């Protein structure tokens, strides 16, 4: 990591929109060193009043659905809409091997967007658990907002519970699907379709145009089986081709309609307040769990206890009480 | 609570099928007093080798769907099938006000079953959180198994995440629905339909017979949109009338077919091993959380921190770190 700065140097740089300092501040919040964490917390504390003024869009879909191409095309469409628009793209990928701070992986994936003067692309920090990646992505998102990015796209490849993590940090959650009506849902995890505010069947081009239209029709009637969202929004299903850049205007207009509804009926602010409380609880529990599972007695006994419990030779309740007794209860 | 016995007195009584001692042992495991907990753990440890030889069926559905009537009719059908069959019915209801150990509430609800010599009915322990109710219900389930009950039904009214808790302690998860195709799903929480191994549209009697049939058809095609279960089971949708006692033979035969498949392809044992590991992790985390949230500093500061976080005046990450610093990190 480059030389550390003072909190106010980071904050000044971020607020002035300095992309290099923004990138360095994100690298700082991604660090797990205690000294870096303390500095990062202070930076976060100072930028907080300057965050929140963006629309946060989460995007998920199975590998091969064309997420990068879609984000590149959607991003270009969004940025063309006005010279004041600025877009940051973040990823949640707990399997990421990209070295911290490098954007090499994404440069090759979202070429044009990465070169755009009003776009900023940042991959997942490497070597962290999903909880860690999600927590750092939230902080990166807030830093981008403080730096003046008014559109944030958070993308996930759908490993583990990462769709839920992305859903819980966004204002609108978009699911990309492939043409083919039904069977490709095999690759989508349970509950993901129900979380979507907007479903887009991508690759609706050439011979896939008709299958995509049928798939969209199919999903549209399937979505009727789901309970209505608490904010009165009925999820929409569209087709598009990121490759041919068709259907993007429709996606964009649904995004705007969704945000307008959510902002006017108060559900936008409610969802954000709920998310902030959720981030707090998760941060608290993640910290508590990290501390607990690093205790020497737990590190020593947990594995053998788990095996005995799965085999059925030890009561799960007794095993838990035994471990707690020796660690926290007796303290 | 009645006078405490020694662990071996409880265990001997339970293993001999003494219903009074079974009931007293369940009351013991429901107690939160430390001395009772220690005794309960010892009883659980001793009965563990005698548990697991039952089929565990979870049943959920919105209030008014007729769960009690269904369980009464289904239970009668099950018990008629052979003089060796024994059925225990447990409930998961975190809102329960019934005083510990009394079965008054259920006697009025499942009258005939409560009087049956081979049935045992036990309501939720009162005044516990969902985590607490679920943990105690799992222990009660194991005690019932040790007492020779080879069929366990766990019923939930669907408060909080109780369906998930029931799903995670059962071999087969059944969802009861009302006739009316679609709109009554409004009352069913997201993700519940996807968890069901068997859906039964109840109240398929009189003028409701045709709507029930249509609803079942509707759900059947809707279920095609969900990914296949890992055990290769394709969830079935049936109609029945608990009141008229029709369709129960069909429900019963699907239950048997499901159990036969799960037992033959190994998914029955896998699901149970996974559940035991899960119970262990949950017990461990529940115990850790109970301890943590009872710490004086947390009790004092948590509420105000939550409010500040929801309002957006304090960073969720900073608030969490601050609380952890003062409690566990500095220990």
Q: Do A316 and B288 touch (CB under 8 A)?
A: no
Q: Do A312 and B52 touch (CB under 8 A)?
A: yes
User: Which alpha helices (DSSP H) does B16-149 contain, by range?
Assistant: 19-30, 34-47, 67-80, 104-109, 111-115, 130-146
Partners of residue B44 in chain A, C-beta under 8 Å: 315, 317-318
Return the minimum-mean-pLDDT range out of A56-60, A93-97, B276-280: A93-97
Residues 129-148 (B) with a CB less than 8 A from some CB of A? 135, 138-139
Partners of residue A273 in chain B, C-beta under 8 Å: 310-312
- Region A53-70: mean pLDDT is 92
Q: Do B331 and A329 touch (CB under 8 A)?
A: no
Return the minimum-mean-pLDDT range out of A196-200, A310-314, B103-107: B103-107
Residue A259 has pLDDT above 50, yes or no: yes
Instruction: Answer with the residue of higher pLDDT: B299 or B230.
Output: B299
What pLDDT does residue A232 have? 84
What pLDDT does residue A271 have? 95
Q: Do A277 and B306 touch (CB under 8 A)?
A: yes
What pLDDT does residue A190 have? 62
Question: Exposed, middle or buried by CB within 10 Å (0-12, 13-18, 19+), for A45?
Answer: middle
A–B CB contacts, 8 A cutoff, strictly below? 169
Query: What is the bridge-based pairing of β-strands A87-92 and A151-156?
Result: parallel
Task: Tell me how long chain B is.
Answer: 331
Partners of residue A135 in chain B, C-beta under 8 Å: 317
Q: Least CA distance to A182: which residue of chain B?
A: B225
Instruction: Answer with the residue of higher pLDDT: B61 or A173.
Output: A173
Q: What is the rounded CA–CA span in Å between residue B242 and residue B197?
A: 19
What pLDDT does residue A176 have? 93
CB-based contacts of B61: which residues, under 8 Å, 6+ apart?
Answer: B67, B158, B175, B176, B177, B202
Q: Does A222 touch chain B (CB under 8 A)?
A: yes
- Region A63-68: mean pLDDT is 87
Query: What is the bridge-based pairing of β-strands A198-201 and B151-156?
Result: unpaired
What pLDDT does residue A254 have? 97
Return the minimum-mean-pLDDT range out of A34-38, B205-209, B276-280: A34-38
Q: What is the rounded CA–CA span in Å between residue A116 and residue A78?
A: 12
- Do residues A34 and A211 lie in contact, with contact meaning Cβ atoms separated by under 8 Å? no
Residues 291-320 (A) with a CB less than 8 A from some CB of B? 291-292, 305-306, 309-312, 314-320
Mutate to test the interface with A, among B53, B131, B290, B315 (most CBs of A within 10 A): B315
Residues 228-257 (B) with a CB less than 8 A from some CB of A? 228
Q: Do A321 and B41 touch (CB under 8 A)?
A: yes
Q: What is the rounded CA–CA span in Å between residue B300 and residue B298?
A: 5
Residue A201 — very low, low, confident or very high, per pLDDT cuts 50/70/90?
Answer: very high
* CB nearest to A318's CB, from B44, B312, B319: B44
Q: What is the rounded CA–CA span in Å between residue A214 and residue A236?
A: 15
Residue B98 has pLDDT above 50, yes or no: no
């Amino acid at each position: 990591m480059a030389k550390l700065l003072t909190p106010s140097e980071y904050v000044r740089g971020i607020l002035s929109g300095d992309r290099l300092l923004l990138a360095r501040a994100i690298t700082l919040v991604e660090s797990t060193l205690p000294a870096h964490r303390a500095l990062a917390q202070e930076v976060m504390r100072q930028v907080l009043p300057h965050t929140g003024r963006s629309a946060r869009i989460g995007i998920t879909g199975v590998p091969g659905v064309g997420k990068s191409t879609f984000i590149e095309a959607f991003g270009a469409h969004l940025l063309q809409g006005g010279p004041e628009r600025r877009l940051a793209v973040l990823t949640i990928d707990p399997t990421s091997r990209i070295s911290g701070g490098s954007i090499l992986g994404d440069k090759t994936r979202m070429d044009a967007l990465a070169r755009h003067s009003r776009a900023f692309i940042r991959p997942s920090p490497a070597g962290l658990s999903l909880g860690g990646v999600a927590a750092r992505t939230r902080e990166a998102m807030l830093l981008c907002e403080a730096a003046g990015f008014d559109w944030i796209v958070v993308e996930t490849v759908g490993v583990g519970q990462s769709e839920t993590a992305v859903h819980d940090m966004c204002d609108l959650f978009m699911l990309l699907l492939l043409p083919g009506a039904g069977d490709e849902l095999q690759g989508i995890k349970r509950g993901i379709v129900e979380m979507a505010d907007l479903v887009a069947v991508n690759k609706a081009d050439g011979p896939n145009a008709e299958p995509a239209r049928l798939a969209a029709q199919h999903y549209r009637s399937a979505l009727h089986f789901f309970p209505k969202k608490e904010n009165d929004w009925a999820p929409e299903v569209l087709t598009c081709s990121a490759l041919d850049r068709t259907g993007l205007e429709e996606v964009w207009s649904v995004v705007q309609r969704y945000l307008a509804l959510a902002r006017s009926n108060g559900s936008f602010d409610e969802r954000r307040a709920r998310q902030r409380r959720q981030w707090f609880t998760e941060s608290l529990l993640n910290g508590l769990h990290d501390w607990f599972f690093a205790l020497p007695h737990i590190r020593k006994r947990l594995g053998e206890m788990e095996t005995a419990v799965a085999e059925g030779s030890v009561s799960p309740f007794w095993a838990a009480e035994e471990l707690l007794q020796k660690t926290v209860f007796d303290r």
